[in-house]
Amino acid sequence: MNAPLYIVDGARTPFCKMGSDLATSDAVELGRTAASAVLAQTGLDPALIDEVIFGCVGQPIDAANVSRVLALRAGIPAHVPAITVHRNCASGFEAVTQAAQKIAAGRGDIFLVGGTESMSRYPLIYNDSASRKFTTLSRAKTLPQKLAAFLRFRPSDFSPRISLQLGLTDPVCGLNMGQTAELLARDWQLSRDTQDHFALRSHQRATAARARLADEITAIYPRNAREPSAVLTDNGVRETQTLEALQKLRPLFDRHGGTVTAGNASQITDGAVALLVMSEAALKRTGLTPLGRLVDYAYAGCEPARMGLGPVHAIARAEQRTGLGLADADIIEINEAFAAQVLACQSAARSSDFCRTHLGLDHALGEIPDERLNVNGGAIALGHPVSATGARLVLTALKELQRRRARRALVTLCVGGGQGGALWLEAAS
């Protein structure tokens, strides 16, 4: 990249399972909390920010352009513009890379970016027939008109569709995300036992990393909670998780012969992440010290039914841009949408045949070693608030590089709809 983007600092809320500790906090409050924490940590005058860019997949109906609303509530002056971006699970990446594009184009020097998601708040949707009847009822003026409109309703009109379920189903291939993971498990012959062992490791690593992960978490005080108190930790990590307990779970997406369960899939989660990023010139002006920089990035498309292989496609494209390969990464983060999906990416990366046939390479991408992969656990344990995850991967990876005094990290994820994103990061020297 001709004009590098530097990541100065970041903060996130705890990640909490849908319907639990953060259910009373909407996407605005989650994002505001993370944004305020970053501003407090860095001491930056918010008036110096050129733009706020946040990802949000399930934007709240009552807060259009959620990025703008959370920015104002975080105390960022009204003259600072804001935009909300959406690339499904890569929305947090998109916020970072759009800032990089703007810096490279000379359209700003300082950006507050991230992602916020309240999956607890995804709405229920009434069908078209019910919607028309509600409209007719709302327009009725006299009592007879209202009674006639009301009598047109049928019991089926009061069975709304679950928007979260609809959002996790691909409209092109017709498969939900769990079914795409089942397809990969069959393609790559990934056993249930292998997937459960991977899930167990995620919980074990996240448990061991509690203190390290606490360094990136800011407390949040949920509004309207029955007993207001600070939420300080991710609540999806099961410190006493056992293989035996995982093996008792039934398949969710293929009842007859399936291998993907709630235990070896990512958790549906609420949470937000904010990152302060800036150009080299802005670093010099502010005197701030960065965690690291974005070396380069790539997005790639792939077959929607096998969207879980998106990281491999994006890693290959990033290698073509940067010359950096898997062996150059001191740590690697692949979002754990499903255990089967990450395991399939490991298999595909080492397969010369796959890389030749699907990526157009004359060599395999190489090995993704377990000892360098998701060293602090992943979304199976920590959760996956879809638009926030990409920004979390960036923050977690840079802080881990700092702790290890290591140089490079590769962070990547799959994207519903058949895409992948990959970012190469480098620690500050």
Catalytic residues: 89, 384, 414
CA distance 241 to 377: 13
Residue 4, Cβ density class (10 Å: 0-12 exposed, 13-18 middle, ≥19 buried): middle
Q: Which of 187, 195, 180 has the alpha carbon at shortest distance from 354?
A: 187
388-to-50, 281, 406 alpha-carbon distances in Å: 21, 27, 25
Q: Which of 249, 246, 283, 265 has the alpha carbon at shortest distance from 343?
A: 265
CA distance 334 to 80: 33
- The answer for residues whose C-beta is within 8 angstroms of residue 71's C-beta and 6 or more apart is 35, 52, 80, 82, 112
CA distance 335 to 412: 7
Tally the residues of the chain.
429
CA distance 337 to 386: 10
* Buried residues in 53-71 as b, exposed as e (16+ CB within 10 A): bbbbbbbbeebeebbbbbb
Tokens of residue 30, six digits:
């989650």
Q: Which of 92, 118, 93 has the alpha carbon at shortest distance from 16?
A: 118
